[in-house]
Amino acid sequence: MSDTVIHATDADFDSAVLQSREPVLVDFWAQWCGPCRMIAPALDQLAAEYAGKAKVVKVDIDQNRDTAIKYHVRSIPMLLLFKDGQVQATQIGAVGKAQLSQMIDKAL
């Protein structure tokens, strides 16, 4: 697990994501989700590559139900790209690193 990926909770989601100066890619995931585990290495790499320009935040939907409900997370992995506290892009399902990179680049 990368030390550049931030793990947010219901309690600190606003400060970690909505109040961020940089764009934030949020991964709604769960421990039991195979595709979520599959994209984790790509997210770790993106967090390192975009350090200082954008953030990667993971939210465990089993432990942070309020945030998952607020953003209508029905299937995982679900990735939301936030900029200035607003959702800019949504990706449902496991995708490659290049697609996630494009999502972030559009917000920079």
26 and 17 Cβ atoms separated by less than 8 Å: yes
**Which is catalytic among the residues 8, 16, 36, 54?**
36
Helix (H, G, I), strand (E, B) or coil at 61: coil
**Which is catalytic among the residues 25, 33, 73, 76?**
33
Query: Is 33 tagged catalytic?
Result: yes
How far is Cα 81 from Cα 79, in angstroms, rounded to an integer? 7
Query: Is 54 tagged catalytic?
Result: no
Tokens 């934030």 sit at which residue? 24
Tokens 């320009």 sit at which residue? 53
How far is Cα 19 from Cα 82, in angstroms, rounded to an integer? 10
Those residues whose C-beta lies under 8 Å from the C-beta of residue 92, and which sit 6 or more positions away, are 75, 77, 78, 79
Q: Which sequence positions are flagged as catalytic?
A: 33, 36
